Amino acid sequence: MFCKQCAALTRQLQHDPLAEPRAELLTGSCIWTDERCRDWCSECTDKVRELFHLRYQITVGDSVPAEAITYFLELERWFPNWPFFRPERRSPGIADKIRRMVRHNTKRTCIAIERMDREYRKREADQTQEHRTNG
């Protein structure tokens, strides 16, 4: 999963009892602030994104292939102290909260993108109209 350097970095990550989950758009999941390492290489970061989404699927009860579950559990044995694998972070008890958080963040982002798109199109139309008027 991780290259040698990133595996060592991951083993150094410590649980922070004050860590908060944050919805993350690229993975469509939640990530706690103590689960990531800014020094991971880009290849390992991409692999971790897939893991975050897998944990989201497990947490909210989505259908997950058996081999993905096996992979997840194998990684947990390799990195047992990584805060990512804390049982309460994939507990069915937080499924609704996590699902709502991700949906809310996705919806809010889509609305913001639509707003930016409308503003861009309006500016373009205004510039085109100005060009026609002055040109």
Which has the higher per-residue pLDDT, 129 or 96?
A: 96
pTM score above 0.85: no
What angle (nearest 5°) sits at the alpha carbon of residue 13, between those of residues 7 and 19?
140
The mean pLDDT value of the chain amounts to 92
pLDDT in tens, 70-81: 999 999 999 999
The answer for residues whose C-beta is within 8 angstroms of residue 43's C-beta and 6 or more apart is 3
Radius of gyration of the chain measured on its C-alpha atoms:
20
